[in-house]
Structure 1
């Protein structure tokens, strides 16, 4: 069973990597550190921002320009934006089987339906984790490049832990949010709702 699960997970990961949506998701997640670093840069240089006409109201949410505020803002961004982006990833992973017309072929495979649905959720978790780690590493690099003051390894590790917890919560909350998003959307995203129902229904019947 473990060999079958590993094979299906590997297949799902290969399908994700070869899809255009994978690269779109990477670019989308890069906006998180870019926006946070922009707010931090404005907070560090308010005079320069005012002279250049940049709106500084958004940057006022940062009380003190430093790594503590910077990393805290990133954790807040992943908590809010991550749920939406992770939800889209979950919806796409399940919905593509229906939209591509491969749902019947998938259910016809000589595999337990529980293995198929578990493999898809594992691939979603791996994909989402990769995006979260990439965004945090990019944020760290940008923070070093713009010389954010007050770097401390202890502060960095504590906020990295907070970011990890926020990311995991957003990842696991994305499934029901994607489900309800599919329920209320009668267009393309509704396909994932039907796909998830069919797979879960088959799993219940077999088990």
Structure 2
């Protein structure tokens, strides 16, 4: 997380809302031979994240031996900021971004609710595609579905700490921030979802 307090003023509730809405991140933990990481979709509610791993992944194998301290990293839009866009002298390049870190205890969840987990996860993302008729596991051949379910294991993360960085040039004046946002919105700049980043920058309060 960035140490500048200008980028650390969002509430824990705002950070959790962003992470929940994003629903995809990197979960990391220390394994017996070094750091482990998996890219995962997840559900987040009431201080608990849930997801699943392919049974043969290193994290799943490590968790079979017991719970682990873990970090779930959720990233949002990001982009390179050229100092030329500020319209001010003697500034340096930077990178704007949104990120949330969820710390907690990671463990395997009871497999008895594996089907319920899969259905909750797919329903959450299918809802975003309305008015498309949602996909459900009931559309699957049930023998095939059962075989596929045996290849995954559910996990849960009990969240004990939340940190976030919303780095939108809040340490610059409104004119400088708008210059950078306009360049990002025009496209063709290094980064991901730069138009969304520009919108977030324009909505940011001037906290400098």
What TM-score, normalized by structure 2, do the two folds share? 0.26
| Greater helix share, structure number | 1
What TM-score, normalized by structure 1, do the two folds share? 0.26
| Greater strand share, structure number | 2
Higher relative contact order (CA 8 A, sep 6+): 1
